[in-house]
Chains A and B, each alone.
Chain A
């Protein structure tokens, strides 16, 4: 079985603990290994990458650790990868995003 973990109940992304291929079913669990949900991944990804736990509209905050880690720059479908291509950092830039 393949697993992903989410760190806070507010999170809309989870971190993959295993490498996945398009169409794989992933068990998403919390830190205690409880509260399981099953999710189908929309693309192949290495372990450690993030997947969307729900459909995320463009301009919506991306949340991990219960905190904002950036903003979606496009619609992100449930089960697809969340990374630098669709997540804009809100900090440390010289232009406002």
Chain B
């Protein structure tokens, strides 16, 4: 039904990338600017705020990570224009961030609170800038090839149904998308522990193989060094309640979501995939941090499988919820986009489930809202890898 010639209606950005949403993003460079940034976004229809507790008092890798995340979130093609709100004395300067974001050829504006003279004036200025950028930005969708999409895949709140049904169904979709040349990203390094021997067999180069093994080793070494047991947090109490007994079992279920595709690249958190096909990104297992990394990497949408149910959305990208747990599909119906519990009941094949997911991907890409969007979910957040000084 869909093939290499399939076209979808999307927003085309000046740098050639395609967006499936047309957001104005109001991004804060530092926690001190969060209130102003959120207040501006709340007063401009179509604007969304991305705020966070970082951007100052960070050093080394931590500071680099924050800058990379904010830059690449701003560059995501679902965003049409960006307003950067800074305080004025922070480490990540608003002007510098805006300049980096504008390398993607999109409109940017800057509000600096210390220069504007406080909260009220900054909010007013920000609203004016957003409305100005809105008047300039393209509002119409154009036709583009389906394989220009970037899709992120993730699982969260897993239970026994995830590895049996929802993840294999997404895996079938991933295999198909990869065959069309779509860029697909997956992460959750913690959740490949115990399954990495399968992934490395799919790595297309020694470099990718070493990348995967190195990242897994880093987590296990960190646990040993800190004298902690990652089993205290992963599998989570909910995973265990849902029938998962070990990190190995969770991981073996989790990797079903990449199907049988080859892994063409290994990339750092929030980096952009350089190659078409399936790339592994080093991300935490934490749902919000992982989503943030994949979207910063350019993902237009996230396919998110869940067994326990989760409401989480994301500020600038639709997060499509897929479950095969019939109780969750019923109880959390307002949060679940696709119910695949018929697979567990033996009444739906994995391939048919894949077709249902593909239809939904196309519809969502062409502006159908996912449940998280309809409910107004606009989460944003990522992690710090070092101390805040």
Contact = CB atoms under 8 A, between A and B. Distances in A.
Contacts of B253: 65
A9 interface: no
B69 to A, nearest CB: 26
Contact of B246 (A47, A49, A89): A89
Interface-central residue, A64, A70, A82, A91, by most chain B CB under 10 Å: A91
Contacts of A23: none
* Dominant secondary structure at the A interface: loop
B160 A90 contact: no
A69 B240 contact: no
Interface string B208-226: 0000000000011001101
A69 B245 contact: yes
B160 A84 contact: no
B245 A94 contact: no
* Dominant secondary structure at the B interface: helix
Contacts of A5: 164
A89 B243 contact: no
B230 interface: yes
B246 A87 contact: yes
Contacts of B226: 94
Interface string B106-128: 00000000000000000000000
Nearest to A46: B243
B379 interface: no
Interface string A37-71: 00000000011111000000000000011011110
A93 B252 contact: no
B252 A82 contact: no
Contacts of B229: 92-95
A12 interface: no
B198 interface: yes
Interface in B244-283: 245-249, 252-253
A13 B305 CA distance: 24
Contacts of A80: none
B247 A67 contact: no
A27 to B, nearest CB: 11
Given A49-B243, A93-B223, A17 B344 contact: yes
A48 B245 contact: no
Contacts of A67: 194-195, 198, 248, 252
A15 B160 contact: yes
B346 A48 contact: no
Contacts of B315: none
B228 interface: yes
Contacts of B160: 15, 47-49
A92 B230 contact: yes
Contact of A82 (B161, B223, B245): B245
Contacts of B247: 89, 91-92
A70 B249 contact: yes
B248 A69 contact: yes
B223 A94 contact: yes
Contact of B248 (A15, A33, A70): A70
15 contacts: A15-B160, A17-B344, A49-B243, A64-B249, A69-B245, A69-B246, A70-B245, A83-B240, A83-B245, A89-B194, A90-B194, A90-B246, A91-B246, A94-B224, A94-B228
Interface of A: 5, 7, 15, 17, 33, 46-50, 64-65, 67-70, 82-84, 87-95
Give the 9 A-B residue pairs with the shortest CB-CB distance, closest first.
Answer: A48-B243, A89-B246, A48-B160, A69-B249, A92-B230, A70-B246, A65-B252, A94-B224, A93-B229
Given A67-B194, A94-B224, 10 more contacts: A5-B164, A48-B242, A50-B245, A70-B245, A83-B243, A84-B240, A87-B246, A92-B190, A94-B226, A94-B228
Interface of B: 159-161, 163-164, 190, 193-195, 198, 219-220, 223-224, 226-231, 234, 240, 242-243, 245-249, 252-253, 344, 346
